[in-house]
Amino acid sequence: MKYELKIDFKDTKLFLDFIKSCYNNGVLVDKTKQLIFDNTTTVFPLCKGLSNLCARLHNDEIIDGSLRFVINEEDDFVSFTPCSIYYEYENNKYSFSV
């Protein structure tokens, strides 16, 4: 991928709950789950007009590296669909790969 957006995502609880809801046994198991950000969030203006761009979300508390998503823009929200397929969990942190 030529261009990627990198975001330091600070909401650790939301991010951890999302990861646990769609990943299990080292692999992405629910490809329909999405992180949704409406137009009141700080993420929305960053991602407006960036449909189909890859975004890397970082959170140093729970992830070693980043989790990749594809951005989809609608009228009043943007959604992030995970595209990192595999993960490892060690030292209380997730490490994702394609």
CATH class held by domain 4-97: mainly beta
Percentage of the chain exceeding pLDDT 90: 84
CA torsion sign for 24, 63, 16, 47 is negative
- For the chain, domain boundaries: 4-97
**b/e code 59-69 from CB counts within 10 Å (16+ = b):** beebbeebbbb
pLDDT at position 91 is 93
What three-state secondary structure class fits 13? helix
What's the whole-number average pLDDT of the chain?
A: 93
CB atoms within 10 A of CB 57: 22
pLDDT tens readout for residues 13-56: 999 999 999 999 999 999 999 999 999 998 999 898 899 999 99
pLDDT tier, 1 (very low <50, low <70, confident <90, very high otherwise) = low
Q: What is the mean pLDDT of the segment spanning 57-63?
A: 96
Q: pTM of this prediction?
A: 0.89
